[in-house]
């Protein structure tokens, strides 16, 4: 007879502390659990009910396939993970990977420690330009490679632009010329949206009972992005590709 696990919701940052308190890891379920009832040291991580597979108001058809999905400058480094309480992020992450069958929803890849490829949550947003509201409409499970493509500007900052470009071409079947045009068009949209300070609407999370850790205010998010980039000594904005530099970078000249 299968043993009923006493599951825990342990944020990644607290896993060592939970392990010290007696928590054990179930590699099949990819989740921590208490080996026996009544362990006071683990009560703080007692599991809450699972997040529903479809969040209230979520549009799972929004944004299909692989494409560059740049976040406006005023919202860099204030993603959904940074806005959600640690325990609830674990619940949300678990739902996103579970409903995707533990595979990337775009290319079908699974996690691979050897290839340093993980499954990650990516946000799809809609933008109301009149109201200046950026609304979360979908969460999608992506592998590290596909996620790097979507955040192409950050790939440049990290020095992995060539790898991101190659993956974009491989997955979409675009020619290199088509892929460059796609990236340039995405940057044009990014430049326009980055002129606006957006308010965040995370209603699909709060309506599902997810506890938010309040993000910085709209003005404060711009400071967060600048300070984060500056602390690493990295450029303050992604570089929009130019034809000559593209040919050199992607091995065409």
Whole-number pLDDT of residue 243: 32
Number of C-beta neighbours around residue 4 at 10 A: 7
Residue 23 · residue 67 · CB < 8 Å? no
- Picking from 20, 35, 195, 203, the residue whose alpha carbon sits closest to that of residue 126 is 203
Whole-number pLDDT of residue 3: 63
Whole-number pLDDT of residue 80: 82
For residue 178, give both structure tokens. Answer: 């088509």
Whole-number pLDDT of residue 236: 36
> pLDDT tens track of the chain, all 253 residues?
456 799 999 999 999 999 999 999 999 888 999 999 999 999 999 999 999 999 999 999 999 999 999 989 877 655 688 788 888 998 999 999 999 999 999 999 999 999 999 999 999 999 999 999 999 999 999 999 999 999 999 999 999 999 999 999 999 999 999 999 999 999 999 999 999 988 889 999 999 999 887 655 555 545 544 554 454 433 334 444 433 233 222 222 2
Computed over its alpha carbons, how large is the radius of gyration of the chain? 20
Whole-number pLDDT of residue 82: 79
Whole-number pLDDT of residue 76: 64
């Amino acid at each position: 007879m299968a043993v009923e696990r006493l599951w825990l919701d342990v944020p990644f940052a607290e896993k060592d502390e939970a392990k010290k308190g007696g928590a054990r890891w179930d590699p099949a379920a990819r989740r921590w659990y208490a080996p026996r009832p009544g362990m006071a040291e683990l009560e703080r991580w007692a599991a809450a009910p699972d997040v529903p597979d479809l969040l209230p108001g979520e549009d799972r058809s929004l944004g299909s396939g692989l494409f560059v999905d740049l976040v406006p400058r005023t919202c860099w480094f204030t993603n959904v993970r940074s806005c959600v309480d640690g325990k609830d992020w674990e619940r949300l992450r678990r739902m996103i990977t579970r409903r995707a069958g533990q595979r990337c929803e775009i290319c079908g890849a699974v996690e691979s420690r050897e290839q340093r490829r993980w499954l990650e949550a990516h946000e799809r947003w809609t933008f109301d330009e009149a109201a200046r509201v950026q609304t979360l409409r979908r969460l999608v499970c992506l592998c590290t490679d596909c996620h790097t493509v979507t955040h192409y500007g950050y790939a440049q900052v990290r020095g992995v632009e060539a790898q991101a470009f190659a993956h974009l071409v491989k997955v979409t079947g675009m020619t290199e010329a088509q892929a460059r045009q796609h990236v340039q068009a995405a940057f044009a949209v990014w430049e326009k949206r980055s002129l606006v300070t957006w308010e965040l609407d995370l209603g699909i999370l709060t309506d599902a009972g997810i506890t938010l850790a309040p993000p910085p205010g709209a003005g404060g998010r711009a400071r967060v992005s600048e300070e984060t980039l500056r602390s690493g000594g990295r450029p303050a904005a992604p570089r929009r590709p130019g034809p000559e530099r593209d040919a050199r970078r992607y091995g065409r000249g």
